[in-house]
Amino acid sequence: MAKYVEFVVPGEPVGKARPRVVDGHAYTPSKTKSYEERIRLAYKQAIKAKAEVDFAFGKGAPLMLSIDCYYSIPQSASKARKARMMSWEERPLKKPDLDNVIKAVADALNGYAYHDDSQIVMMQATKKYGATPCLRVLLFELQG
């Protein structure tokens, strides 16, 4: 059976922000740092639930990363529009950009779930509306 881990990060998805430069020094914005820490915490809770102490994929393991971003439905939306959003007929065309959310997840798990995010050789990601905003992450080792 393939090695995998699946977990949920509660709350609205957050994308990786560009580094800020102050007085010639680059730093990661606090919102990005905080979200990456929430991702790591959700990962650690998931491996604890699997009774794995130091679960991590091997250094040479090829990995697939799947991310589902669920955004909250605006209160102001009509019933008909809410129904379209819940059935995924209407998708969120808003920030953050999907590639920035992927980058936040991949960077957050660097050195925790895998040696380096260069091990990710396949990806799937979606933006959807949902009853509860969150990020669902599935990471698994590809076989053969």
What is the per-residue pLDDT across 99-133, written as a single tens digit (0 to 9) for each? 999 999 999 999 999 999 999 999 999 999 999 99
The model's pTM: 0.90
- Please state whether beta strands 134-141 and 120-129 pair in parallel, antiparallel, or not at all (unpaired): unpaired
pLDDT at 54: 62
Task: Give the range with max mean pLDDT: 11-20, 33-42, 44-53.
Answer: 33-42
Q: Classify the C-alpha dihedral 19-25-31-36 as positive or negative.
A: positive
Number of H helices and E strands in the chain, helices first, is 3, 6
